Structures are given as C-alpha cells and as structure tokens.
Amino acid sequence: MKKTLCALLVALFAAAPVVHADETAAQLPRIPLEASVEGKLSELKLSELGEAFSSRASPAEEAAAPESSMLSRAGDRIGAVLERALDFLGVRYKRGGAAPETGFDCSGFVRHVYAETLGLLLPHNAKAIAQQGQRIDKDELKPGDLVFFNTMRRAFSHVGIYLGDNLFIHAPRAGQRVRIEDLTERYWSRRFNGARRIQP
C-alpha cells in the first residue's frame, strides 16, 4: 500500500499542470515543474507522514506503556488526517466548495479533512483557520500541520496540509484540482505566512 500511494502521487503530480492557489478564481502566474519535487515525492519516506504508517502496538504493549500508547494514538490521528487528505488528490477546485462531490476551495478542503478524521469543525476561511491552534515556526513543521500563504496581497489567504519533506497538499485555484506542492519552490517560499498545529 505504501509503494502504491507513492507511485500514485508521482503519477498524478507528473500529469497535472503546476498551479498556485487561492480562494478566488484569480489567475496566478504559472511556474515550471521542478524535477526535485517529483523526486521528493517518489522518495517520500512514509515515516515522514507520521507514526500512523508504522505498525501499531498490541493491546498488551499499550497497557504496559501508557505514555507510548498516547503517542501511538496521536500518531494514528495524524496518519488518518494525511491518508484522508491524499484520498482527495484530483478533486476539482470550486470556490466556496466544501465536499468532494462538488469540489473544494483551500479552506473547505482543510475543514473537510479535519472534520472527517478528527471531528474538529474548523472555519471555512483560511484567515479564520489561522487563528486556531498553536503557532509554530517553519523549522518545527511536522506532518499534519497547516501551512499558510499570502497569495492575494493579504496575510493568510491560502492554506494547505503539510505532508513532510517540504511537501504540502492543497486545493488550488479555479480550473485545477487538489494536488501536492513543494514549500521550497520560489512562489511558495516567498509567500509563506506561517504554520499552525491543530490538536484534537
């Protein structure tokens, strides 16, 4: 399953045009696909995607180590967030969209994933989501954290879910589909606004 997920991501990423995101239909400039992004995607270690992809402890082991069990459950929750987000690769963008059947905008995508996996009801607005959770620095990013960008000359106008290894998944602009991008690309690195860690 792990190899299949990575292969699927590489295929989808290579086939889809590079896009930039917003919650509006504004046309943003295109940038060329960097070979390093595709390479990162194919080499992405699933250990970077949280402990949920590792084998779970048995009930006896969990009982013997309650602290370890708590960490394992936290890893399971983050793993569920990431797996569910990846399930929506290829879903079309729709301004104001909040469901896979009709399409997502960036905040609708994040809201839907967090509601389904963690039972958290986040606002349907990137700036409002940025008011939630714990503020973290870029070098503290962990899989499942939320990353924010200034794509409309205003802070926190776009949001995505961090996957690890500088990659994040998001619902891009009108005419495009949910996809993965690289934080180190010039477009995203220049517009990075900050990150938040949302904990259930």
pLDDT of residue 168: 98
pLDDT of residue 12: 40
pLDDT of residue 37: 53
CATH code linked to domain 2-197: 3.90.1720.10
Extract long-range pairs of 129-133: CB within 8 Å, 24+ residues apart: 129/156, 129/159, 129/196, 130/155, 130/156, 130/159, 130/193, 130/194, 130/196, 132/196, 132/198, 133/196, 133/197, 133/198, 133/199
Segments making up each domain of the chain, as ranges: 2-197
Judged against a pLDDT cut of 50, whether residue 188 lies above it is answered with: yes
pLDDT of residue 1: 46
6 flagged as catalytic: no
Token pair 């292969």 in the structure block, residue: 7
112 flagged as catalytic: no
Q: What confidence tens digit (pLDDT) does each residue in 12-56 have?
A: 433 443 344 444 434 333 434 444 555 555 555 444 444 433 333
Judged against a pLDDT cut of 90, whether residue 83 lies above it is answered with: yes
Residue type, 79: G
**Residue 109: count of CB within 10 angstroms of its CB:** 28
158 flagged as catalytic: yes
User: How confident is the model over 145-168, as a mean pLDDT?
Assistant: 96
The more confidently predicted of residues 75 and 122 is 122
Start-to-end CA distance of the chain, whole Å, equals: 27
Report whether 169 contacts 35 (CB < 8 A): no
pLDDT of residue 105: 97
- 51: Cβ contacts below 8 Å, ≥ 6 apart: 71, 72, 74, 75, 76, 78, 79
On whether the pTM is more than 0.75, the answer is no
pLDDT of residue 90: 97
Q: With cut-offs at 50, 70 and 90, classify the pLDDT of residue 84.
A: very high
